[in-house]
A and B are shown apart, each in its own frame.
Chain A
Amino acid sequence: MTTIDPTSDAVGHAGDRSDDVAAADSRAELLLAGIADWLTSTDHKRIGRLFLGGGFIGLLATAIVNIVLGIERGDIATVDGDAIAQLLDAQRVGLVFGTLLPLSLGLCIAVVPLQLGARSLAFPRLAATGFWMWVGGLVFSVIALVNDGGGLGGDADMVDLFIASHGLMAIGLTAAAGSIATSVLTTRAPGMTMRRVPFFSMSALITALGLLLVMPVLLGTLTYLFLDHRNARTGFGGNTGIYEWALWVFTQPTTFLFAIPAIGVLAEGAPLLFRLRTPARGVMFAGLGLIGVAAFTGVAQQSVHNLPWAGSDLYIGGGDDLRDKLADAVPWAMFNLLPLLGLVVVVLMSLFLAKPVKGARPNLSPAFAFGFLGAGMVLMGMLGTALFAIDDLALQGTVFEEGALIYVTYGAALGIMGGVAFWAPKLWGRTLPAGQLLPLAGLGLIATVLASLPSYVEGFDTSRDIYSIAVLAGHVLMALTALAFVALLATTLRNDDADHADDPYDAQTLEWTTPSPAPHGNFVDVPTVMSAEPLLDIKPTASTTTGSDA
């Protein structure tokens, strides 16, 4: 209670009043100090949670934008025609820069130092600066869109602001990525060779290195776009040139790179199911790395690698030079099939690890449940993207690509939710109740399928109405999933009776050796690592069914 009760007699007593005022002042000071502490914190867990909070707000806001678009497309109500362009821009910006990137980077920043046995993140101020640059850029982007800016906007100044805001976000995300990559490369516990790095941390490293390759290229392109749009408007097509030159960052295969941490959550959760050591860890690393090939799409600044089919160069009987046919097929395969192969490898390895062990009860963690469903959705997005590039299917220009983007983004968001739930004991000191988490995973799965699959179908069949309503329902369900997840997290944190266990999932990696929540500095003593699953080395019934790097 922060106010004075007006019905109380105490109101009339000067002494009591001064006590109350002093208490209120003290509370206000504490609140301000707390806010200042959060805003200037260099604790990686706080910076990560700030990113995650921003990502969940972004997910909710993007789902609402998608709902408005769904209402318009389903002819349920009509949105102002001038606003449609801004809504379409907001959808892409929200999905990629508002949801996918902050959720992925936030979980990496919050968890990676704990997994590595590090006391802190490398360059924490750089990561914090990256967060605030991302927030600033996103806010400017929203301001630009609201005021008729964006890729199809009519207000020149707001279009400039839209471009500049993305440049700001690109710098911020590069800074955060640099901090993560340096952490994995330099702050590992004694004995933790690169081969013993936990799967999630390896996925974070791959994403961070990919971002260090991709985001500067985006920044360079945006610099050209900004100066050209601000001055000559001759070389880059004015505001419509934004998507001609920078669309690649808002679409597949580049977005696969941003989704890798969600796949890492699955890889982290799978060995826990039957408490197995992971054999051939290199295969899992290779799978995660192959998804990272998507980074080269950004480097090449290409969004679509078209693949002509029957009656075209690729048709072997056509008499064209084989070199021409390969010139079409190789880039398509490299940018679409290699990430797909990587994800298939990770999923197959996870299924192998999920094989029941005689006499053992499965230990279903949220990391596996959400991660598996999320990875499945990202896989659907990858399959769709590979099909989308085949010219003869005539999918370009339809909503098919939008379906793939939503599959990837919502699927990755689902995986990251699993990661947040899994590592909640270390971040907040409470274990989220499994009985309420698993239905949420199911709801998220239904939401993602409904929001995406109809767009795939609509790519082949243009009778739009039914599909649009299904998509609308999917986005409503995703908004509900995000809200319910945050509500569950909030209620669990307020519940003092919630589980405070240090290792509730009988896990294998270093973060579970430290108390819940992890203290400032993470570890009292930096532990020595003797294998890739250090906790299995010291637990009484450690399984040694499969070989691991020891």
Chain B
Amino acid sequence: MEALAAGPAPAPRRQLIVGSALASVAMLMLTGGMLAVWSLQRRRTVDLGETWLPSGVTVPEVPVNVTLLAFIGICTFAQWAVYAAKRGDRAHTAFALAVTVLTAVMVINAQAFIYSEMGLGIGDGTYAAMFYAVTGMFLALMTIGVILAAVAAFRFLGGRSDREIVAAHAIYWYTVAIIFSAIWFVVYVTK
């Protein structure tokens, strides 16, 4: 049997981009599944003639809406990093990634503020447990995003000029923005 001809070195197939796209699908499924159960439980409670949001609890609308607006900033800064990385502009890439991280930390802080304003104990019933489950999942995604931005910065600025991870990191933030938009509507607006 003769051997198959050796091929040229395979063209880079953007493994990180594909991987982050698949991770985004998984994150959307996680959120979608949780919000579906949230909606079901809410409907069951309302059908019983009870209120879903416990009495005495109010949703602090200002930090919630500011968080939603902050995602416009996060996505813009992440895309700025991609643009700068593509042009090989290390200073702008570093600055854009730093601002992305800063805004993400601000969102985490805002979520902590929402917790303190609502004053809801995790054992205060079904709503409380589910509220902390959904928002806790969101906080976990934000933390992963901050770590990812830091890794992207190290890999791009540390000499490898890895533009792909900067683009993958931007895909991640777009997905988190979609996720928070859904949480904003289902959890904070519909209540």
Contact = CB atoms under 8 A, between A and B. Distances in A.
Interface stretch (A40-48, A177-185, A418-426): A177-185
A186 interface: yes
A521 interface: no
A232 B18 contact: no
Interface of A is mostly: helix
A513 B3 contact: yes
B10 A189 contact: yes
Contact of B36 (A191, A234, A301): A301
Interface string B26-39: 11011111101100
A217 B29 contact: yes
Interface in B63-94: none
A216 interface: yes
A486 interface: no
Contact of B37 (A216, A221, A234, A528): A221
Given A178-B22, A213-B25, A526-B10, A220 B33 contact: yes
A1 interface: no
A405 to B, nearest CB: 23
A182 B168 CA distance: 14
A348 B40 CA distance: 42
A185 B36 CA distance: 30
Given A122-B19, A526-B9, A223 B137 contact: yes
B22 A231 contact: no
A236 B126 CA distance: 8
A538 B5 CA distance: 10
B92 to A, nearest CB: 29
Contacts of B26: 174, 178, 212-213, 215-216
Contacts of B129: 224, 227-228, 231-232, 235
Interface stretch (B117-125, B150-158, B181-189): B117-125
A223 B35 CA distance: 12
Given A227-B129, A232-B126, A182 B7 contact: no
B122 to A, nearest CB: 5
B30 A219 contact: yes
Contacts of B126: 228, 232, 234-236
B29 A299 contact: yes
B123 to A, nearest CB: 4
Interface of B: 1-10, 13-15, 18-19, 22-23, 25-27, 29-34, 36-37, 41, 122-126, 128-130, 132-133, 136-137
